[in-house]
Structure 1
Amino acid sequence: MSHSASSAPVLPVSGLVTQKTYTIRRSTVLLGLAWLGLTTAGCGLSGWYVLSKDDLAARLIARETTRQYAYEDRIAALRADVDRLASRALLDQDGVEARVDELATRQAELESRQSLVTALADTLQAGGIVPASKAAPLRPRLIKPEEPIRASGITSFAPIMPTKPTPAPETPGLRGAGDTQVAPWRSGMAEPQPPAQRVETALTRLDRALASTAGAQLAALRDMDETLQASQKRLRNALSETGLDTDRLAAQSSVAKGVGGPFVPLKIDTAAGPFEATLSALQPRIASVMRLRSLAEQLPLAKPMAGEADFSSNFGYRVDPFTRSPAMHTGIDFRAETGSPIRATAPGKVITAEYSGGYGNMVEIEHANGITTRYAHMSAILASVGQNVTTGTVIGRVGSTGRSTGPHLHYETRIDDEPVDPTRFLRAGGRLAGLR
């Protein structure tokens, strides 16, 4: 489509200015209109931006302010949690230290009890009440934890960092293994326990160890009590064979020699617990058994000759070997070879060591509680007057001196110079020997 300008009238050339004609294309007009529209839009946007700039900034500032307040509230909450956890940790630490102090007190108490139990066991062993093979279980070992905990050592609940393990790569798959997946390597170190749990575990272990030791000590005391009861009963039964008032004689028996020191009474509160109650009950029983044993050691309960007794004549009425008439035999006779050793049947002091009429060569020993023993018809006297002898001391040799029909030992037991049957003492000695 062709565009041409409209024809204008032609003026005369003479005396007039010539006018120049311009032609504007439609595309140029459209381009100008587009530019005008863009410029107008830009101006509008600029105006809108200028008008809305303050409101946008206000919204941005408000949003940042809200976010800041939220962060500050979160930080305050975290600080409160930290303070609460710190306070709880301090309370837990105070509780642990109080528990450790309580366990330390129990430990010291157990150590004190241990010394008492060991001393009692040694006393029973030294007194011959229990043999050494049976005295060891009466001394329970004081159990101590492998890792003792002290209150002063617990200063923080920070975990103990283990040694850093070396990272191991995953095991590569082998050729031909198909789809089988090989598990990756793992460190052999177990996950560490939390600090509070480690402390609680250690304290629990220590508490159980102390409880076990306390139980063992109480069991040892009860075993001692049972042993003492059995010993007291056996001693009374055995000594009853003598026909003596053992309670009266035991109360008068002398104490062991080579001991002493200032008297410091041991105060025991029987209401403190079963250990103290059992220990208090043991005291009179130990004293009674020790007195009975001391009495048994002072009485002539041993045999005057070694080996099996070969009695040739008993105590009491018999037919006199010389006159063939009834007579009173004041002792017992042991048949033996001439020269066989004769031994003292109890500790004492020699008051006679000479030839004495029908007794022949005789030794008389004075023992405690008004008891004396006589050994007659000796071929040789091996003791002297005033000599202190012990049980088993050889005081002479078997013979046939004095009023005797052959080699033998005439043995007498007297109480306040009155003859009593020696077999009563020998039976008691035999029963006690069978109990050892």
Structure 2
Amino acid sequence: MLILASGERVRHMTIRPWMIVTTLSSFALVTLCYLGATAYLVLRDDLIGASMARQARMQNDYEDRISALRAQLDRITSRQLLDQQVVEQKVEQLLQQQDALFSRHGKLGGLMQRAEDSGLSVPGTKASAYHPEDLQQQGSLKGGHKAIEGILGTSGAASIKPAQPSGQESVADQADRVFSKVTLSLKNVEQEQLKRIRSLTANASRTAEAMASIMLRTGVQVPEAGAGGIGGPFVEPVSANSFDTSITALDQALSRLESVRKAAVSLPFANPAPGHEITSGFGNRIDPFLGRLALHAGVDFQADLGTTVKATGSGKVVNAGPSGGYGNMIEIDHGQGITTRYGHLSSILVAVGDTVSAGETIGRAGSTGRSTGPHVHYEVRRNGDAIDPMHFLNAGLKLTTYLK
């Protein structure tokens, strides 16, 4: 108990245990708060410094990451630009090769048509329908073009993709692979063209020589292609590749063949009465009217009255009308001094000055003039002298194979 005295006044205060505990607790709480506030004030600067340092480190890490990404972006962009330039260069080269190949097809078109007109063909090929895109390699070309478009679309994309993982093809590697495939296809197309050109050249040369040999045995000289006057100032030759050389060789071979075919068609190698047998040959025989030996200047074909008579070669009609023992007679000039005569006709279907072609009907069989009955009298003359028509008829049978 606590007693307080002030003058006459005396006060009594009883201190209980809980009051002591409360007082001590309050003191301890105040002390702790003081110590906590003091510690906070002391440690605050360290905490703020640590926080700022941590933020600085995070900012530095972020800036380093940004720099690394920017450097990676620059590398990828530079690589893509380089790859795109490489692809564009290869595309330009490919287009040049393709343009050259298709321009060659333009040169080939006329020659292929001439070859077809001359009866030539390469096994498995129709000259008139010849197109580079019909070759087996065209499928590779189309596939290559799709792959090229894909590469160009990838290399030209606006978005930047991460770097290629190891072992995966880059755009440049894909371009090299695709362009190698397409270039090989174009080379195969070119080789196929050259192969067909050379085959046609060889066929044209063989055919021309075979026909010329057959005609030569009849005494016909086949003129060389392009024969005639030539000239001009001397100019150094231009460089020529294998394709241009092959084209020139084919053109010359076709010109030679066309010259031989033209001569074969113009000269009398056909039959004036196809399907009719010969009743009297060329040479000496007993004359049916005089009963003594006489020269028969032609051959006679059995024919009924009115049977069609055909020109044995193209040429110009120089005589058409009655002519002594020939009766109604037609004479055609075929050039090179060679003429043909068709006698004893019942009717004449052409006039002097007309131009006729081989196989054209020019008259009808009869028995006019010095004749014992309907037939076709046929003669071949060189420079006015009668020669055996059988030489030309036999040669015509052999030439038929090449004139189809």
Same fold per superposition (TM over 0.5): yes
Matched, 1:157 2:162: no
Which residue pairs with 1:188 in the alignment? Answer: none
Q: Find the aligned partners of 1:250 and 1:153 in 2 and give their Cα distance.
A: 61
Contact 1:117–1:217 under 8 Å retained in 2: no
The alpha carbon displacement at 1:127 in A equals 4.5
Q: Find the aligned partners of 1:345 and 1:310 in 2 and give their Cα distance.
A: 16
Superposition TM-score, scaled by structure 2 size:
0.75
Which residue pairs with 2:164 in the alignment? Answer: none
**1:218–1:118 distance in 2 versus 1, CA, 3 Å:** farther
Matched, 1:28 2:19: yes
Which residue pairs with 2:166 in the alignment? Answer: none
Which residue pairs with 2:46 in the alignment? Answer: 55
**1:350–1:91 distance in 2 versus 1, CA, 3 Å:** same
Q: SS at 1:367's partner residue?
A: strand
Matched, 1:332 2:305: no
- Alignment counterpart, residue 295 of structure 1, candidates 223, 243, 263: 263
Which residue pairs with 2:232 in the alignment? Answer: none
The alpha carbon displacement at 1:406 in A equals 2.5
Matched, 1:229 2:202: yes
Matched, 1:427 2:402: no
Q: SS at 2:336's partner residue?
A: helix
Deviation sequence 1:218-258 (CA, Å, 0-9, x none): 53564354345335434543453341466x42327999xxx
**1:84–1:297 distance in 2 versus 1, CA, 3 Å:** same
Q: SS at 1:86's partner residue?
A: helix
Matched, 1:285 2:277: no
The alpha carbon displacement at 1:279 in A equals 2.1
Q: Find the aligned partners of 1:382 and 1:295 in 2 and give their Cα distance.
A: 25
Superposition pairs for residues 61-140 of structure 1, below 5 Å? 61-129=52-120, 134-140=126-132
Paired residue type of 1:233: R
Give % identity.
34
**1:254–1:420 distance in 2 versus 1, CA, 3 Å:** farther
Q: Find the aligned partners of 1:253 and 1:364 in 2 and give their Cα distance.
A: 30
Contact 2:315–2:333 under 8 Å retained in 1: yes
Q: Find the aligned partners of 1:155 and 1:220 in 2 and give their Cα distance.
A: 34
Which residue pairs with 1:341 in the alignment? Answer: 308
Structure 2, unpaired ranges of 5+: 160-169, 229-236
**1:63–1:253 distance in 2 versus 1, CA, 3 Å:** closer
Paired residue type of 2:127: A
Q: Find the aligned partners of 1:60 and 1:371 in 2 and give their Cα distance.
A: 121
Which residue pairs with 2:320 in the alignment? Answer: 353
Q: Find the aligned partners of 2:245 and 2:377 in 1 and give their Cα distance.
A: 52
Paired residue type of 2:25: A
Query: What is the total number of aligned residue pairs between the two structures?
Result: 368
Which residue pairs with 1:250 in the alignment? Answer: 223
Superposition pairs for residues 365-376 of structure 1, below 5 Å? 365-376=332-343
The alpha carbon displacement at 1:332 in A equals 1.4
The alpha carbon displacement at 1:319 in A equals 4.3
Which residue pairs with 1:219 in the alignment? Answer: 192
Q: SS at 1:379's partner residue?
A: strand
The alpha carbon displacement at 1:141 in A equals 4.5
Paired residue type of 2:355: N
**1:63–1:155 distance in 2 versus 1, CA, 3 Å:** closer
**1:292–1:268 distance in 2 versus 1, CA, 3 Å:** farther
Superposition TM-score, scaled by structure 1 size:
0.70
Which residue pairs with 1:174 in the alignment? Answer: none
Which residue pairs with 1:38 in the alignment? Answer: 29
The alpha carbon displacement at 1:111 in A equals 3.1
The alpha carbon displacement at 1:325 in A equals 4.9
Deviation sequence 1:308-333 (CA, Å, 0-9, x none): 13101222344444555554433211
Contact 2:204–2:253 under 8 Å retained in 1: no
Q: Find the aligned partners of 2:238 and 2:276 in 1 and give their Cα distance.
A: 50
Q: Find the aligned partners of 2:203 and 2:352 in 1 and give their Cα distance.
A: 40
Q: Find the aligned partners of 1:349 and 1:293 in 2 and give their Cα distance.
A: 18
**1:100–1:136 distance in 2 versus 1, CA, 3 Å:** same
Paired residue type of 2:213: S
Q: Find the aligned partners of 1:295 and 1:352 in 2 and give their Cα distance.
A: 22
Q: Find the aligned partners of 2:33 and 2:154 in 1 and give their Cα distance.
A: 75
Higher strand share: 2
Contact 1:221–1:278 under 8 Å retained in 2: yes
Deviation sequence 1:372-403 (CA, Å, 0-9, x none): 11112233344433333222333333223344
**1:401–1:290 distance in 2 versus 1, CA, 3 Å:** same
Bigger radius of gyration among the two: 1
Deviation sequence 1:301-355 (CA, Å, 0-9, x none): 12112x3131012223444445555544332111111232222211222223344
Matched, 1:362 2:335: no
**1:222–1:293 distance in 2 versus 1, CA, 3 Å:** farther
Q: Find the aligned partners of 2:377 and 2:188 in 1 and give their Cα distance.
A: 56
The alpha carbon displacement at 1:70 in A equals 0.6
Deviation sequence 1:45-95 (CA, Å, 0-9, x none): 222222222222222211111111111111111111222222223223323
**1:125–1:99 distance in 2 versus 1, CA, 3 Å:** same
Contact 2:266–2:334 under 8 Å retained in 1: yes
